[in-house]
Structure 1
Amino acid sequence: MLPMLKPFAFALSLAFAAAAASAQEPQMNLPRVKLAAGMHQIDAQVAATPDQRMTGLMHRKEMPQHEGMLFVFEMPSQQCFWMKNTLLPLSIAFVADDGTIVNIDEMAPQTLDSHCSVKPVRYVLEMNKGWFARKGIKAGDKLAGQPFK
């Protein structure tokens, strides 16, 4: 009986290794939405499922300056993010249902510091670090696009 278990155990260990390897791959093929912050255009990938939101921008080594990731939650609540396994420094905007930016924070790569919304929100937008500041976008400004209609 034991000799028969060896191939099964080997196959099982290969499956776990494959799952671990794929878990470290960045998600690159999420649906996209066009957003606008004033005259600035954003091409945002949309993370709308629990698995997509959990992975977020982890394991990415670069992201074009006009791109970001929009996290969409089922209902407004206080949202908190951290940067475990995220290699890029990011800016994060917590956004109300009408597109109003509630607060913005800067996040350092590979840290466990919590970055939270100051009010309940349903949307969170991550961009390359400093993007909002370079564009003069601050809390109280509005994002436009399909999710905020």
Structure 2
Amino acid sequence: MRHVISFLLSLALMVGGGTMAWAQEPMLLPTHPEPLLAETGAGERSFTIEIADTAEKRARGLMFRRSMGDDHGMLFVFEESRNRAFWMKDTPMPLDLLFVGEDGRVQAIERGEPFSTDGIAPDARAQFVLELKAGTAQRTGIEVGDRLRHPLIDAVAQNG
């Protein structure tokens, strides 16, 4: 019996170790063929984006990602509009988090600090959250109230 327990413990450690190593690899999603456009007071800005539209993809997001292009981001797509909360526990890059309502308008812009377990939860309903490198919103002139356009956002905004 002791050998069986020892074997099971070893197996659990091997599987757990493999899972841990896998979990620390960044998730790289394909770039969506359509760019995301931000309509700002300073003009239109274009971003290539990855889409996190499943629970698993949203849970992993940009975790463990160490770099990202200045004009690149990840769009989190949810089934409904409500208050959202994010954290940066396993994310080494500082980020801008743009909380976007079902109408495609930016409701809040928050800063995400690397490895922080503090909740990022503005008092704003969002159906989408766009994560960009920290400082991108300010650098490109994106402000609360600006409209983001992308086929996934536009489909909800037109039906809303």
TM-score (norm 2): 0.85
Q: Distance in 1 between matches of 2:128 and 2:119?
A: 17
State how many pairs are aligned: 149
Q: Which residue matches 1:147?
A: 152
Choose 137-146 or 8-17, whichever is displaced more. Answer: 8-17
Could you tell me how far apart the structure 1 residues matched to 2:54 and 2:150 are? Answer: 20
Aligned to 1:12: 12
Distance 1:65 1:106, change over 3 A: same
Distance between the aligned counterparts of 1:113 and 1:29, measured in 2? 26
| Separation in structure 1 between the aligned mates of residue 23 and residue 6 of structure 2, nearest angstrom | 26
Distance 1:95 1:79 in 2: 10
Displacement of 1:96: 1.1
Amino acid at match of 2:138: A
Post-superposition Cα deviations, 1:63-87, rounded to whole Å, max 9, x if no partner, equal 1111111111111110011111110
Alpha-carbon contact 2:96-2:131 (below 8 Å) kept: yes
Mapped partners of 1:23, 1:86: distance in 2: 12
1:80 aligned counterpart, secondary structure: coil
CA contact (8 A) 2:106 2:148 kept: yes
1:30, 1:47 within 8 Å by CA — same for their partners in 2?
A: no
Counterpart code for 1:34: P
Question: How far did 1:30 drift?
Answer: 4.7
Distance, in Å, in 2 between the alignment partners of 1:145 and 1:114 is 27
Aligned residue number for residue 70 of structure 2: 65
1:49 is the counterpart of 2:51: no
| Alignment partners' CA distance in 2, 1:133 and 1:71 | 20
Q: Which of 117, 123, 126 in structure 1 is aligned with 2:131?
A: 126
1:6 Cα shift?
3.8
Partner in structure 2 of residue 3 of structure 1: 3
Query: How far 1:106 sits from its partner (Å)?
Result: 1.4
Would the aligned equivalents of 2:98 and 2:110 in 1 still touch at CA under 8 Å?
A: yes
Q: Alpha-carbon deviations, 1:63-122, whole Å to 9, x = none?
A: 111111111111111001111111000001000122111111112111122222322211
1:26·1:58 contact (CA, 8 Å) conserved in 2? yes
* Percent of paired sites with the same residue: 32
Contact 2:96 2:110 in 1 (8 A): yes
